[in-house]
Amino acid sequence: MNGPRSREIVQKLWNASKSLQGGGVTYFEYVTELTYLLFLKMLEEVSRSGRKLEEGVPQDCRWGSIKSRVGDDRLTHYRAVLLKLGTSPDVRSPLVKQVFQDAKTSITKPTSLTSLITTIDDIDWYAAEEDGLGDLYEGLLEKTTSERKSKAGQYFTPRALIDCLVRLMKPEPGEIIQDPAAGTGGFLIAAHRRVLNLTDDLTTLGAGAAFFQRNSALQGCELITGTHRLCTMNMLLHGIDTPIQPYDTLSSEAEDLDPADLVLTNPPFNKFPESVFRTDFSITADQRKGPLPFVEHIVRALKHGGRAAVVVPDNVLFEDNTGRRLRTWLMDLCNLHTILRLPTGIFYAQGVKTNVLFLQRGKTDRSNTQAVWVYDMRANMPAFGKTRPLTVADFVGFETAYGTDPNGGAERTEQGEDGRWRMFSRDAIAARNDNLDIAWLRDTEAEAEEALTEPEDIAAAIIGHLKAALEEIEALSEELEPDIVEEAATVAEAAE
């Protein structure tokens, strides 16, 4: 987030959440509630600056209409507004309908609604617009994800990691950039921001190219309704006029996405009870939805010569059977030139071990990977958590080693067995049965976790290790008895 004034506004809005927590309103529900109200307020503010977005909202549903009422009448009217904006044919803006689809309020007291409206109305919106309304909203989302932790395999990507991957992959004007698991839109917005910087806010582009950048360049899917709502709001406030679709990437819906020049994504880490339904899949067809099918989607989504950076859990690197077939297929079709072993604790669950795969789709579909470079950012690292968040500075060593070519073609220097940066030939990987879980430095994760002091971080570490252990048991059981695993997954989903 850019300016100190925006940070002050975010803190002010966040402090207002305390008044609702006594009524059982969660952080996520609070930010969703703020999304409804801030959306209407920001439409009013943005319309004053020339973007006539408020014209798509009926008069009796605008910010001023809600603000003009008091007491029980205000709360009753607010509930009616949420319903109307999501369903009425009078709402001409598809963006508005996406934000308010299935919207309902968690507020039960008129005084709580009045408190929120007063807080929002007291904001210095001139200062907020100078710093960027999108950055203000992103600040709220970051607050939410740090409090919400993770659920159902959704691990929200740290901003420092997003910015690192965008710097390395270098999105360009005119490219189709896709995120098939978009979350709140972090990757797409960061990519868009780089394009804005390259084109002086699109002013150096022709009218057609600028229109493409706002309306067609950024594509993807987000299935979870609440998260999709936040994504739509976030992208709209960053000047992106066509948000991503509420599609299931692992169903036939996603087959309509355009071939991508660049994929940036952090798919769900968990497996789900439902099966994949994609007519174009071969490796993971009929498998349970999870990270492996997302990897197949990414390879198929890329144009020949297209590139990708994708966050995956460790089991994608070593899982046998379907996992091994997928890795072999991927290394044939793509040049998997780099793997970054990420530290634990950065996804709000200490035991979750993750990596970034950097790859380029080949011009042909044979023998594209000749060597894989691995950077170990996991061993001998601090215990990341609330008191020690991931920062841009943590990626300096990796970015230097990676080089300036997005496709890994820059000159690289091996650091040997005592260093973090090593190269492994395709033959060496084949000798490992295409197991890409390659580590050579002493693992200091347990020592780092002993340094944790925050109760939230300690609890996250315990939960993360339990989840990792359960996933290993599940993988073993899946080989022995698929029906048992499906039943256990259904029970686990119900428990969440």
HSE-CB at 179 with a 13 A cutoff on CA atoms is 31
pTM for the model stands at 0.81
Mean pLDDT of 106-112: 85
Phi-psi region of 173 (alpha: psi -120 to 50; beta: other; left: phi over 0): beta
- Which domains does the chain possess? 4-139 (1.20.1260.30), 149-458 (3.40.50.150)
pLDDT of 209 strictly over 70: yes
Given pLDDT bands bounded at 50, 70 and 90, which one contains residue 9?
Answer: confident
Determine whether 262 is exposed, middle or buried from the number of CB atoms within 10 Å of its CB (0-12, 13-18, 19+): buried
| Pairwise pLDDT comparison (407 vs 346), residue with the higher score | 407
Q: Among 140, 266, 244, 135, which Cα is nearest to 196's?
A: 135
pLDDT computed for residue 10 by the predictor = 74
- Residue 365 pLDDT level (bands cut at 50, 70, 90): confident
Q: Which residues are CB-contacts of 250 (< 8 A; sequence separation ≥ 6)?
A: 276, 277, 278, 289, 293, 294, 297
Would the pLDDT of 228 be above 60?
Answer: yes
pLDDT tier, 45 (very low <50, low <70, confident <90, very high otherwise): confident
User: If you average pLDDT over residues 61-88, what whole number do you get?
Assistant: 91
- pLDDT reading at 458 higher than 80: no
pLDDT at 153 over 50: no
User: Tokens 């709209």 correspond to what residue?
Assistant: 236
| pLDDT band with cut points at 50, 70 and 90 for residue 1 | very low
The pLDDT score that the predictor gives to residue 74 is 94
Residue range 285-302: average pLDDT? 93
Confidence of residue 374 (pLDDT cuts 50, 70, 90): very high
The pLDDT, as a whole number, for residue 269 is: 82
d(CA 349, CA 292): 21
Mean pLDDT of all residues in 161-173: 97
Q: What is the pLDDT of residue 149?
A: 47
Q: Is the pLDDT of residue 479 over 90?
A: no
Higher pLDDT, 117 or 456: 117
pLDDT at 154: 45
